Structure 1
Amino acid sequence: MSHSPHVLIEESDPFCLGPVEAATLLAGAPWRRYAVIGDSLSAGTGDASPGYLDQGWSDRLAGILRRVRPELAYLNTAEIGATTARTLDAQLHPVIEFRPDLLHVPSGANDILRRHPDFGEIEAMLRRMYELAAGTGALLTTFTLGRAFVVAVFPDWHERVTTLNGIVRRLAAEYDAVVVDMWDHPVNDRDTLLSADRIHFSASGQAVMAAEMVKALASRLGRTAPA
């Protein structure tokens, strides 16, 4: 099947990494037990994209880590619609029992869908989540919300997201978490980035998210992805 040179596919997308290249960046990585908690963004929910593997970023990353460590154990408890409170109540206990050495925590996207979000309460819940997650001894990962993610019913949505992203950045720094900052990533400018719901990244965005996570983990290992 031929593709127009002007239409991106995964193999030609400059923001993506091929599986071999990604595995090379993470060669020898120490992680053997990878867990993901949170909401639909953690789960990698999104519509299919022509020319891209139809798979969420977290499953993609697990596949790459499994190339490096075939014995990798992977647990994803992410739940569509989960708030931080719901994540704390329903997901932390099984993940703590799983004993991860690499653990992804959510960014609180569903916490700002209230009519009047209480950012003090949101930060307190996120901090409690980070405390419990860090108690596993795992390296923590997270990401900020992209600017393409818009809930138009809230006129102050931009301010909500930037405030939440600020909280996430502060907590990530405090707990030495790997943070992938998607707020101003150029992929936000792509017309095809979002799924039909205009909230979740499509498969093309999931591929980019996975690549950015690989690059961030590689950086933690002291490696740099080629430009």
Structure 2
Amino acid sequence: MRGKLIREIVAEQVEPALALRPDLVTLSAGGNDVIRLGTDPDLIAARCELAVRRLTRDGAQVVLFTGVDVGFSPVLRHLRGKVAIYTENMRAIAARYDCVVADLWGLTEIRDVRMWAPDRLHLNALGHHTVARMVLSSLNVPNALEPQRPEPMPGTTWRRARTEDLAWAREYLVPWVLRRVRHQSSGDHVLPKRPEAAPFGRLQP
């Protein structure tokens, strides 16, 4: 769920996931912690390891996501070193617990603003499609997903780009800063879309 911090994921989601007796678990966590000012990527990774240790104890295969190389992003590039430290921690944890690594850092296709939602923090549908292909490849799962390319970037002027930046700051950045000041998260009070396990989609032959 969006906005959740690693301590909330460990406390709220790990045991319900294990109650399903899964063979495979994907764990993409820690990003909301890493982008917060003053947080320690080593401590965040240690909390993530608690989840991995518990998930693997009963024999589930865990797919562990690295961070994204944010060097392309004007909004997040100042955090590139911090995300890199977190990513190396994820690789080390994956090695210790025999996890499959979903390498977002190495996925160069998503270093493109056209793969991202208007908030500049979350992937859009095209970005998710690209990540899904990478994960299936990491698991050696045959699939029919074809690469999708973003539409060409429309021409723009310096003035229009700055206007878009101001609109983004007003709609997304200012609320984010206010939540930090109030010690709130966008994940507070967010409930799962599907709280009960149910069949999803059509089974492949």
Instruction: Give the TM bin, normalised by the shorter chain.
Output: 0.5 to 0.7
Residue in 2 that maps onto 1:210: 132
2:14 maps to 1:92: yes
- What is the RMSD of the two structures over their aligned residues, measured on CA atoms? 2.3
2:58 maps to 1:158: no
Normalised to the residue count of structure 2, the TM-score between the two structures is 0.63
Between the aligned residues of both structures, percent identity stands at: 26
Structure of higher CA gyration radius: 2
Q: Give the secondary structure class of the aligned counterpart of 1:104.
A: strand
CA-CA distance at 1:208 after TM superposition = 0.9
Which structure has greater helix proportion?
Answer: 2
Residues 211 and 180 from structure 1, CA distance in 2 versus in 1: closer, same or farther, beyond 3 angstroms? same
CA deviations over 1:143-173 (Å, ceiling 9, x no partner): 2122248583x67411111111111111011
Residue in 2 that maps onto 1:130: 52
* Partner Cα distance (1:150, 1:174) in 2: 31
- Give yes or no for contact 1:107–1:165 (8 Å, CA) kept in 2: no
2:114 maps to 1:192: yes
2:69 maps to 1:147: yes
Residue in 1 that maps onto 2:94: 172
- Between 1 and 2, higher relative CO (CA 8 Å, sep ≥ 6) is seen in 1
CA deviations over 1:72-113 (Å, ceiling 9, x no partner): xxxxxxx21111100011111111111100011124101113
Q: Give the secondary structure class of the aligned counterpart of 1:218.
A: coil
Q: Give the secondary structure class of the aligned counterpart of 2:91.
A: helix
Unaligned runs of 5+ in 1: 1-78, 222-227
Normalised to the residue count of structure 1, the TM-score between the two structures is 0.57
- Give yes or no for contact 1:101–1:136 (8 Å, CA) kept in 2: no
Unaligned runs of 5+ in 2: 143-205
Q: Give the secondary structure class of the aligned counterpart of 2:115.
A: coil
Residues 209 and 162 from structure 1, CA distance in 2 versus in 1: closer, same or farther, beyond 3 angstroms? same
- Give yes or no for contact 1:102–1:139 (8 Å, CA) kept in 2: yes
- Give yes or no for contact 1:100–1:136 (8 Å, CA) kept in 2: no
* Partner Cα distance (1:88, 1:138) in 2: 16
- The aligned amino acid for 1:196 is P
- The aligned amino acid for 1:111 is D
